[in-house]
């Protein structure tokens, strides 16, 4: 009997089928230990000793493994084939050794790049030892992230209230996003004109040529800078004769891209499928771990966290056979294509991401995969297949034309291309990302008609169009990942979590798939660039990543790297103890001037208070973060939120010097528009008894008039009595948006306008629909959206939608889904991970569904509540 440890329960079932009755495969459910989130978990003064903690859920997994080992001959560690997988195997081995559970049992480490029977059995025939350098690299990375987080965060809390550290790698990624925003703010648009001619051949075929020279001078895109110059050239061309000087056709070849790596898959999935990085990895994980196909679970792709671009020789032969079968012999190149990685600091390079079997085409798998799985598999299959196909053969044609008018001349050029043989393009073409050119989509991709040298051309139309240069585009997730990879920042397994951290901490928002830094994120980066510049430098971070790679290669000792880092970092932390908040604010005022002091439409000084006219505006720090205030406080109470979307009129509208909107027709009290630290609001009356209402989402201060202010202040609004209960139904605006209320039942409305217009009949229907869905959170259990497999410890796992969003439920444990996770796409494995993490974070041990005597149950409940409260308090103090 042999005990095999893998990471996921889905893999455990599949692999146990492959190995047979002589093996027992158990899942660790990811990491079994981690550094406790408290000071002292890494001790630099004690040679970087690290204290590890096993959570409640992991204790049970380890207990199961220990029990299984009692009658076993050996332990086989078969976690994922990367640094994290190696670390999990090391953690499991360390714990079992301390428990003295191994005794005379042999321990082997095996890795497989795909969950297929052949891959698993081949791995079992080729065991090895734990890769110590790879574990050392993990320990160094984990210690570095811990030391940065737990030493830099307190500095941020003290000097920049409301801010949190984004992490060692996340801070550099955030800097990229903020730097791009700064470029956009500083960008000055320039005017330029493009001139072209619509021409016809003697055979009547039309085409377009663009201006490239004028009066003997070569022109660039920006050469014609105003309408007068463009008009002069256009007038000259209007009366010109056109003649073909030369026609040159050049055959070229375009080669395919290599198969996907983690980063290129995330980029392509973003561009082609609209997936964010997290979604891409979730779907890829499912394809890797296996899909039920005709009663057999089959891993459909190789491991999806990789820098490698090469495929195994047997996979290349499979691909070549599939290409000949599907596309024909001409599409198979004479020799197999061999790729090498170009990623900076590429390491831990396994195979590229490819199908485990090229014979399984996307069409063959349609009935077994959900929509997202099929789309991603289709992308992977096509890219891997195309990587071994023949080059595309393209003929590029360039036509040089001279325009003559009296003694003046101009040069024009027409370009085009024709695909003579599509080659790999028949399987896969890349997609443009951020304006970059990609396969099959060049500027000169238009096909030209027959054009002969020396022939005269007829003018059809002269085009003169005005343009303005545009600022660089904001990063998308895909382009940010590509930039991080170019700079050598982060690694394949970190990209998705890095971006998720920036979103979760409200440092960036995503709008139309573009990353926009929030004011909180820009404050953090401005602070770090001014007072911890070295630690957000791209070169420094990339150099540290390279050292971590050298640790994994056995070239550096991991504690030497930590010592070198810690000496300078700790000294820098000490230097900030005497840093005054006024120094911080002065630096941030200058660094973030476009954000803090946006230009006003009237051209007045944006740093002068719009209310008192004499005070200077500046950043202020409050309990809940930064805002803009007047230096004449408390005589002048002007404040506004930190935002670049403010102009002079908005400043006036939002000043604490109230904007008068009129009087209430019933009470004669003044109605005013004001602002507070939490945004604009309307107020009726004065003093503590004044009624106030915040502006709902989508309503701007400029749009608020007397009528809208009265409507807001009239809330909550009585709609009418419920026909069954006789109790009043009301409509209002609450923390979670517009709603209707009957007795204790709240039902959300789609828009704020509904609050003012909804009638009794519709209100009764909305209430009835909410009741039919089941009571809200705290009053019962909402109906299940989706039922998953049973938990390994018994009991159903379900996906539900509560008051605060969708979550997974097992017994008494509710685990909230990530913000961008579709509740209907949750898998059993994902749910188990969330439940395990929630149980461990709360210090709970999941209870069985068996009934217990009431007295014991009550005692247990009290104890659990006390523990939970204690854990929650500790967490609050840390944050």
Catalytic residues: 303
DSSP state of 419: E
Nearest CA among 159, 219, 172 for reference residue 195: 219
**Rounded distance between C-alpha atoms, residue 99 and residue 68, angstroms:** 14
Say if CB 451 and CB 201 are below 8 A apart. Answer: yes
The tokens describing 199, both together, are 């021409």
Q: What is the pairing mode between strands 625-630 and 639-641?
A: antiparallel
What 3-state class would DSSP assign to 196?
strand
413 DSSP β-pair partners: 210, 400
Longest dimension (CA), the chain: 107
**Rounded distance between C-alpha atoms, residue 495 and residue 198, angstroms:** 48
Say if CB 291 and CB 298 are below 8 A apart. Answer: yes
**Rounded distance between C-alpha atoms, residue 816 and residue 808, angstroms:** 6
How many helices (H) and strands (E) are present in the chain, helices listed first? 24, 32
**Rounded distance between C-alpha atoms, residue 542 and residue 551, angstroms:** 14
Nearest CA among 69, 66, 91, 89 for reference residue 78: 89
Say if CB 452 and CB 399 are below 8 A apart. Answer: no
Q: What is the pairing mode between strands 206-214 and 191-200?
A: antiparallel
Sheet with 2-6: strands ordered across: 23-27, 2-6, 74-77, 106-109
Nearest CA among 680, 683, 657, 679 for reference residue 671: 683
Torsions phi, psi of 513, nearest 5? Answer: 65, 15
Instruction: Tell me the three-class secondary structure of 598-628, residue by residue.
Output: CCCCCCCCCCECCCCCCCEEEEEEECCEEEE
Nearest CA among 305, 292, 298, 275 for reference residue 376: 275
Q: Is the peptide bond before 716 cis (omega within 30 degrees of 0)?
A: yes
**Rounded distance between C-alpha atoms, residue 531 and residue 714, angstroms:** 49
**Rounded distance between C-alpha atoms, residue 61 and residue 68, angstroms:** 11
* DSSP strands (E only) in 502-566: 508-511, 514-517
**Rounded distance between C-alpha atoms, residue 300 and residue 380, angstroms:** 10
- Taking each helix axis as running N to C, give the angle between helix 519-531 and helix 132-159, from 0 to 180 degrees, rounded to the nearest 10: 100
Residues 6+ apart with CB under 8 A from 282: 821, 825, 830
Nearest CA among 247, 255, 250, 215 for reference residue 232: 215
The tokens describing 774, both together, are 């089941």
Nearest CA among 528, 532, 518 for reference residue 474: 518
What 3-state class would DSSP assign to 461?
strand
Residue 189: Cβ-neighbour burial (10 angstroms; 0-12, 13-18, 19+): exposed
- Taking each helix axis as running N to C, give the angle between helix 277-289 and helix 371-386, from 0 to 180 degrees, rounded to the nearest 10: 80
619 DSSP β-pair partners: 628
**Rounded distance between C-alpha atoms, residue 114 and residue 107, angstroms:** 22
- Residues 749, 754, 758, 764: what is their CA dihedral angle, to the nearest 10 degrees? 0
**Rounded distance between C-alpha atoms, residue 410 and residue 377, angstroms:** 52
- Taking each helix axis as running N to C, give the angle between helix 538-552 and helix 558-575, from 0 to 180 degrees, rounded to the nearest 10: 150
DSSP state of 260: B
């Amino acid at each position: 009997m042999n005990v095999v440890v893998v990471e996921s329960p889905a893999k455990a079932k599949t692999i146990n089928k492959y190995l047979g009755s002589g093996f027992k495969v158990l899942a660790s459910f990811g990491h079994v230990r981690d550094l406790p989130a408290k000071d002292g978990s890494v001790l630099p003064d004690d040679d970087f000793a690290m204290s590890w903690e096993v959570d409640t859920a992991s204790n049970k997994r380890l207990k199961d493994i220990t029990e299984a080992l009692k009658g076993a001959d050996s332990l086989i560690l078969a976690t994922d084939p990367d640094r994290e997988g190696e670390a999990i195997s090391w953690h499991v081995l360390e714990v079992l050794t301390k428990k003295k559970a191994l005794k005379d049992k042999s321990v082997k480490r095996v890795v497989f790049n795909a969950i297929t029977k052949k891959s698993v059995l081949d791995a079992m025939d080729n065991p090895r030892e734990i890769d110590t350098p790879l574990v050392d690299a993990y320990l160094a990375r984990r210690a570095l992230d811990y030391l940065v987080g737990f030493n830099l965060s307190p500095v941020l809390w003290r000097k920049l209230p409301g801010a949190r550290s984004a992490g060692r790698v996340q801070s550099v990624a955030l800097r990229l996003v903020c730097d791009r925003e700064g470029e956009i703010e500083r960008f000055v648009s320039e005017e330029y004109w493009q001139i072209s001619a619509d021409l016809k051949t003697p055979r009547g075929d039309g085409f377009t040529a663009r201006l490239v020279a004028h009066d003997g001078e070569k022109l660039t895109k920006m050469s014609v800078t105003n309408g007068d110059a463009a008009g002069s050239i256009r007038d000259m061309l209007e009366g010109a004769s056109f003649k073909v000087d030369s026609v040159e056709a050049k055959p070229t070849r375009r080669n395919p891209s290599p198969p996907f790596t983690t980063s290129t898959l995330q980029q392509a999935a973003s561009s082609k499928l609209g997936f964010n990085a997290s979604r891409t990895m979730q779907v890829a994980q499912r394809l890797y771990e296996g899909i039920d196909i005709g009663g057999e679970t089959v891993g459909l792709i190789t491991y999806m966290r990789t820098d490698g671009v090469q495929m195994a020789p047997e996979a290349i032969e499979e691909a070549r056979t599939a290409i000949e079968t599907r596309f024909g012999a001409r599409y198979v190149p004479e020799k197999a294509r061999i790729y090498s990685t170009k990623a900076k600091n590429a390491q831990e390079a396994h195979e590229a991401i490819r199908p485990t079997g090229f014979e399984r085409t996307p069409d063959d798998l349609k009935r077994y995969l959900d929509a997202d799985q099929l789309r991603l598999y289709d992308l992977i299959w096509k890219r891997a297949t195309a990587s071994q196909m023949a080059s595309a053969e393209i003929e590029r044609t360039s036509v040089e034309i001279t325009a003559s008018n009296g003694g003046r001349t101009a040069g024009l050029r027409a370009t085009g291309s024709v695909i003579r043989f599509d080659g790999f393009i028949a399987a896969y073409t890349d997609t443009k990302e951020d304006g970059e050119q990609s396969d099959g989509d060049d500027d000169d991709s238009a096909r030209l008609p027959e054009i002969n040298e020396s022939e005269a051309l007829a003018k059809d139309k002269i085009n003169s169009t005005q343009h303005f240069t545009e600022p660089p585009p904001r990063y998308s997730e895909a382009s940010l990942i590509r930039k991080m990879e170019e700079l050598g920042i982060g690694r394949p397994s970190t990209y998705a979590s890095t971006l998720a951290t920036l979103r979760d901490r409200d440092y960036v928002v995503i709008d139309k798939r573009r990353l926009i830094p929030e004011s909180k994120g820009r404050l953090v980066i401005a602070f770090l660039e001014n007072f911890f510049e070295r630690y957000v430098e791209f070169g420094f971070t990339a150099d540290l990543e390279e050292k971590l790679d050298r640790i994994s290669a056995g070239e550096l000792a991991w504690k030497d790297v930590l010592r070198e880092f810690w000496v300078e970092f700790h000294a820098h932390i000490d230097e900030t103890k005497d840093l005054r908040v006024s120094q911080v604010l002065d630096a941030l005022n200058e660094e973030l001037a476009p954000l803090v002091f946006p230009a006003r439409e009237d051209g007045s000084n944006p740093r002068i208070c719009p209310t008192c006219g004499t005070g200077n505006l500046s950043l202020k720090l409050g309990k809940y973060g930064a805002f803009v205030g007047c230096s004449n406080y408390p005589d002048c109470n002007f404040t506004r939120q930190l935002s670049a979307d403010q102009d002079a009129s908005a400043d006036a509208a939002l000043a604490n010097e109230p904007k008068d909107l009129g009087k209430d027709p019933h009470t004669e009290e003044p109605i005013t528009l004001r602002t507070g630290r939490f945004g604009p609001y309307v107020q009726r009356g004065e003093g503590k008894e004044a009624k106030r209402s915040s502006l709902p989402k989508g309503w701007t201060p400029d749009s608020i008039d007397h009528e809208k202010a009265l409507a807001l202040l009239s809330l909550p609004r009585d709609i009418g009595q419920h026909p069954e209960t006789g109790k009043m139904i009301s409509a209002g605006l609450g923390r979670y948006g517009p709603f209707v209320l009957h007795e204790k039942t709240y039902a959300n409305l789609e828009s704020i306008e509904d609050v003012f217009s909804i009638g009794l009949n519709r209100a009764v229907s909305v209430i009835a629909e909410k009741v039919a869905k089941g009571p809200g959170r705290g009053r019962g259990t909402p109906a299940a959206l989706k039922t998953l497999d049973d938990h390994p410890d018994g009991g159903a796992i379900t996906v539900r939608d509560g008051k605060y969003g969708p979550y997974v439920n097992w017994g008494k444990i509710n685990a909230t889904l990530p913000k961008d996770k579709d509740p209907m796409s949750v898998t059993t494995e994902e749910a188990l991970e969330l439940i395990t993490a929630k149980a461990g974070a709360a210090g709970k041990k999941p209870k069985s569904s068996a009934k217990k005597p009431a007295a014991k149950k009550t005692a247990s409940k009290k104890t659990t509540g006390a523990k939970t409260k204690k854990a929650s308090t500790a967490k609050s103090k840390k944050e």
